């Protein structure tokens, strides 16, 4: 039971039962009807004067018992009789509409009282507590019955909503009941207990059964009753294929009668629900009038308005029982909902606010944020917001798209393209097909309610191709081409729609899988992975506090130093983003939750240690899957430290080891090396052979070195594939160190591509390489001269101040700075330039 409501006016129901969510039309007359008409009219006037929501009159609808079938409910003499003729249970009802019945001029009964059709919407069950009489009728004091589902009712509710109801709706579609689709859309929004009441009221159930449904308090028992009767209804709609001809004809006739009955019930329910929810009914506006007004208010282009008017006239002349009626109605609903000329209030671009929004939402990503601010500045000066397409391969893509929308004060919509393989998913299906619908672009615009949202095409590199369903990428060509998207053609809409005001943002992890014509329509902005320092900042300010709060702990109950967080990031993650880091931190926090819960159960909570050490992390997470290389090894001739960059956005150091042995001058390469890095090794050896005399490896210019020796170059961690040109200078130094028996300091590292002419060429990933080398203990880094600009732009100032950065134009510059003691004994550099 729940709260009570005193003195509800009683409306008795004979052979009728009002259930929650159901609308009944009752015929009333006499003083009771006059009273309700007055209350209803007053509520309408109050709403008009105060511009507030309507407070409609509420009554108590109580059925007569089965034993009171002979009582005339319009004869109020029953009020003076015993209350036992009324049921103990009823339903509160809200008066949603009152219509005076038309008087028949041919009638000879002039003294017949005025009758009204009163539409009552069921609200909630109640149990009658006591009655009292007043001038306008009987009043009842009630106690409402809660509709809250018990825990044991959840299983029954799940079976009912996922099995029985879909079977019933499927059967209605098989019988081609016109309102089956509308009913399906309607029931999908209802709570299961309300759905059970509604279905019991529209299927073929007796008065006693509906009365039993009303009087059942437990939700679980009501679900079981609805399950039983709905299953019976489904069986009654089935026609056996194995009966005789006569019985088959009888069954078919019965089937048609049942279908006709259901059509009438559903049509009545649609009208009643429409009447109950139509707040504009007082102005005489029906559904068709509202639809026409919405089409007018949409302010469509001339060609679209012409099509809408033509299709609306067709709909007016079409029967609602026609199979095409719902198809055409849905089409016009789409045309009315589309924002043909509605835009977000974003014409004023606040650059300062946009910068603040991006800084608040994202740490790092300076290059990307700079490019976005540049775009906004151009848009502000130019006066419109048409834009190139920005593509973010990497991390933080979706959240960055949301930040752009927030900075522009625009609506945001995300379209997931992963696995999309049908062109119709983008362009829509033609209306001739069953269950046709618009494409993802038009659906997104309809949902946003504005024709200039920020639309994120997520994972555009994962669009699939299908030989039989067309290529979705081909449809995207028109969407992303500024010269074509002003007349985008959706198959369902079958009209040109202007997409030129939309800011499209496409995201991808690998741009190499994007079709070339599609990639040409995008401006690619590389979104680099986070460095470990950036990950540390994100974990400290965002990830760790969020996970602590999510696990129900206070912020002071988990204490983790920066060294521990950085150690977790280095030893347990190897990614460009921070998702794995967040999951790893969550695992540590869960373990601390278990520890705290166990101590509190034994009243030992005071022994809980909030600090998390590396030893604690080892106990919780186990052996680290990744090992960080560090400097500080004993310098050995032939071993040189290089710099590496992984595609996940992380940098690191690696070692190049060279050794020679008796042989015939062969070169062996090991360590899971790719083709490019193998070519770098051959170039390094060729250059050394060509300059052996200058390097004082050969005693004469014509001496053939290594004729009786083999060279073996190895890069440790052989299980990890390695490729790229940036190890070229490292291999040269390794071979020179080996052949001259001169060691390179273990705190010196280098990177750069080499050419046969001895030039040092630029490489990528400089920021990540320098930061990781600094973290590994490297104090001197040799870089290509043409990468100086990358250091200036990307490397943090604290890192640059803590290490020595040397820039090399040629291999001789590298040798001079890596093998400084040996370099003093070779010829001056000028002779080699």
- Which residues are known to be catalytic? 726, 769
**Residues 6 or more apart in contact with residue 761 via CB below 8 angstroms:** 725, 728, 752, 753, 754, 755, 784, 786
CA distances from 653 to 284, 421, 642, 676 (A): 78, 42, 6, 19
CB atoms within 10 A of CB 203: 21
Q: What is the sign, positive or negative, of the torsion defined by CA atoms of 425, 428, 433, 437?
A: positive
Assess contact for 394 and 506: CB atoms under 8 A. Answer: no
The sheet that has 639-645: what strands, in order across it? 667-670, 709-714, 651-662, 639-645, 748-750, 780-784, 804-808
Strand partners, 117: 27, 99
Q: DSSP states of 773-807 as a string?
A: HHHTT--EEEEEGGGHHHHHHHS-HHHHHHSEEEE
Can you tell me the distance from the alpha carbon of 373 to that of 381, in angstroms, rounded to the nearest whole number? 12
Assess contact for 375 and 404: CB atoms under 8 A. Answer: no
Helices (H) and strands (E) in the chain, counts: 30, 24
What does the longest C-alpha to C-alpha distance in the chain come to?
138
* Tokens 């001809």 belong to residue: 245
For 376, the enclosing helix (H) or strand (E) is: helix 366-382
Q: Return the ∠ at Cα 172 (arms to 166 and 176), rounded to 5°.
A: 140
Q: How many residues does the chain have?
A: 833
Contacts of 256-264 spanning 24+ positions with Cβ under 8 A: 258/175, 258/204, 259/175, 259/176, 259/177, 261/204, 262/172, 262/175, 262/177, 262/202, 262/203, 263/177, 263/178, 263/179, 263/321
CB atoms within 10 A of CB 468: 6
For 523, the enclosing helix (H) or strand (E) is: strand 523-524
Can you tell me the distance from the alpha carbon of 30 to that of 32, in angstroms, rounded to the nearest whole number? 5
Read off the DSSP letter of residue 389. P
Q: Encoding tokens for residue 335? A: 């045309």
CA distances from 677 to 536, 670, 673 (A): 32, 11, 6
Q: Torsion-angle region of residue 724: left (phi > 0), alpha (psi -120 to 50) or beta?
A: left
Can you tell me the distance from the alpha carbon of 201 to that of 425, in angstroms, rounded to the nearest whole number? 39
Assess contact for 780 and 749: CB atoms under 8 A. Answer: yes
Can you tell me the distance from the alpha carbon of 181 to that of 330, in angstroms, rounded to the nearest whole number? 11
Closest-CA residue to 102 (of 121, 86, 116, 118): 116
Give me the helices (H) in 573-707, please.
Answer: 579-601, 614-621, 675-690
Q: Encoding tokens for residue 27? A: 């015929």
Closest-CA residue to 218 (of 152, 139, 267): 152
Assess contact for 226 and 160: CB atoms under 8 A. Answer: yes
CB atoms within 10 A of CB 34: 15
Read off the DSSP letter of residue 722. B
Can you tell me the distance from the alpha carbon of 760 to that of 785, in angstroms, rounded to the nearest whole number? 8
Assess contact for 748 and 814: CB atoms under 8 A. Answer: no
Can you tell me the distance from the alpha carbon of 456 to that of 445, in angstroms, rounded to the nearest whole number? 12
């Amino acid at each position: 039971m729940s709260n009570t409501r005193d003195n509800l006016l009683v409306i008795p129901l004979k052979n009728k039962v009002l259930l929650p969510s159901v609308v009944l039309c009752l015929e009333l007359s006499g003083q009771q009807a006059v009273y309700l008409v007055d209350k209803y009219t007053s509520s309408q006037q109050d709403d008009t004067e105060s511009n507030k929501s309507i407070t409609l009159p509420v009554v108590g609808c109580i059925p007569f018992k089965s034993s009171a079938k002979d009582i005339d409910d319009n004869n109020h003499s029953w009020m003076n009789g015993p209350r036992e003729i009324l049921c103990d249970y009823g339903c509160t009802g809200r008066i949603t509409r009152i219509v005076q019945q038309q008087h028949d001029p041919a009638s000879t009964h002039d003294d017949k009282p005025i009758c009204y059709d009163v539409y009552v919407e069921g609200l909630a069950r109640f149990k009658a507590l006591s009655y009292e009489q007043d001038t306008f009728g009987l009043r009842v004091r009630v106690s409402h019955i809660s509709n809250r589902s018990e825990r044991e009712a959840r299983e029954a509710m799940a079976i009912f909503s996922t099995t029985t109801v879909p079977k019933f709706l499927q059967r209605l579609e098989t019988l081609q009941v016109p309102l089956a689709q509308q009913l399906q859309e309607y029931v999908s929004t209802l709570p299961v207990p309300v759905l059970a009441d509604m279905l019991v009221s529209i299927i073929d159930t007796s008065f006693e059964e509906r009365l039993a449904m009303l009087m059942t308090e437990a939700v679980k028992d009501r679900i079981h009753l609805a399950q039983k009767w709905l299953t019976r209804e489904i069986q009654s709609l089935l026609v056996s294929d194995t009966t005789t001809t006569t019985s088959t004809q009888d069954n078919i006739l019965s089937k048609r009668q049942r279908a006709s009955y259901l059509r009438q019930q559903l049509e009545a329910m649609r009208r009643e629900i429409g009447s109950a929810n139509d707040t504009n009914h007082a102005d005489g506006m029906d559904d068709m009038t509202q639809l026409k007004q919405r089409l007018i208010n949409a302010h469509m282009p001339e060609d679209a308005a012409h099509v809408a008017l033509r299709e609306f006239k067709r709909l007016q002349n079409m029967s609602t029982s026609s199979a095409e009626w719902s198809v055409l109605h849905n089409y016009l609903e789409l045309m009315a909902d589309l924002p043909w000329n509605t835009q977000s209030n974003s014409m004023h671009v606040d650059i300062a606010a946009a910068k603040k929004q991006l800084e608040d939402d994202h740490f790092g990503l300076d290059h990307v944020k700079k490019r976005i601010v540049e775009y906004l500045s151009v848009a502000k000066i130019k006066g419109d917001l048409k834009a190139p397409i920005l593509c973010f391969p990497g991390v933080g893509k979706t959240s960055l798209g949301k930040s752009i929308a927030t900075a522009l004060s625009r609506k945001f919509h995300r379209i997931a393209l992963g696995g999309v393989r049908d062109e119709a998913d983008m362009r829509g299906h033609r209306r001739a097909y069953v269950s046709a619908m618009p494409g993802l672009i038009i659906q997104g615009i309809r949902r946003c309610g504005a024709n200039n949202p920020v639309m994120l095409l997520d994972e555009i590199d994962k669009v699939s191709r299908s030989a039989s369903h067309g290529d979705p990428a081909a449809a995207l060509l028109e969407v992303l081409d500024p010269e074509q998207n002003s007349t985008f053609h959706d198959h369902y809409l079958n009209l040109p729609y202007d997409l030129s005001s939309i800011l499209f943002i496409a995201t991808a992890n690998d741009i190499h899988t994007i079709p070339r014509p599609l990639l040409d329509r995008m401006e690619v902005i590389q979104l680099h992975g986070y460095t470990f320092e950036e990950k540390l900042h994100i974990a400290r300010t965002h990830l760790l506090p969020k996970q602590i709060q999510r696990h129900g702990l206070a912020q002071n109950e988990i204490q983790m130093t920066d060294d521990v967080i950085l150690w977790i990031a280095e030893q347990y993650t190897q990614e460009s983003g921070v998702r794995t880091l967040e999951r790893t931190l969550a695992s540590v926090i869960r373990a601390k939750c278990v520890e705290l819960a166990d101590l509190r159960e034994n009243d030992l909570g005071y022994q809980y240690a909030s600090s998390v050490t590396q030893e604690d992390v080892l106990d919780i997470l186990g052996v680290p899957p990744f090992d960080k290389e560090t400097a500080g090894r004993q310098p050995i001739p032939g071993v040189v430290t290089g710099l590496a960059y992984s595609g996940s956005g992380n940098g690191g150091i690696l070692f190049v080891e060279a050794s020679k042995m008796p042989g015939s001058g062969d070169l062996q390469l090991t360590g899971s090396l790719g083709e490019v890095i193998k070519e770098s090794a051959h170039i390094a050896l060729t250059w050394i052979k060509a300059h052996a005399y200058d390097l004082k490896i050969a005693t004469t210019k014509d001496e053939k070195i290594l004729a009786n020796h083999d060279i073996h170059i190895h890069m440790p961690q052989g299980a990890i594939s390695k490729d790229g040109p940036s190890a070229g200078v490292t291999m040269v130094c390794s071979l020179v160190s080996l052949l001259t028996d001169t060691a390179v300091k273990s705190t010196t590292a280098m990177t750069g591509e080499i050419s046969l002419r001895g030039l040092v060429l630029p490489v990528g990933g400089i920021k990540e390489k320098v930061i990781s080398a600094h973290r590994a203990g490297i104090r001197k880094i040799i870089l290509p001269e043409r990468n100086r600009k990358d250091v200036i732009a990307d490397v943090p100032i604290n890192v640059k101040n803590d290490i020595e950065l040397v820039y090399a134009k040629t291999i001789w510059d590298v040798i001079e700075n890596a093998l400084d003691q040996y370099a003093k004994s070779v010829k001056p550099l000028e002779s080699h330039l």
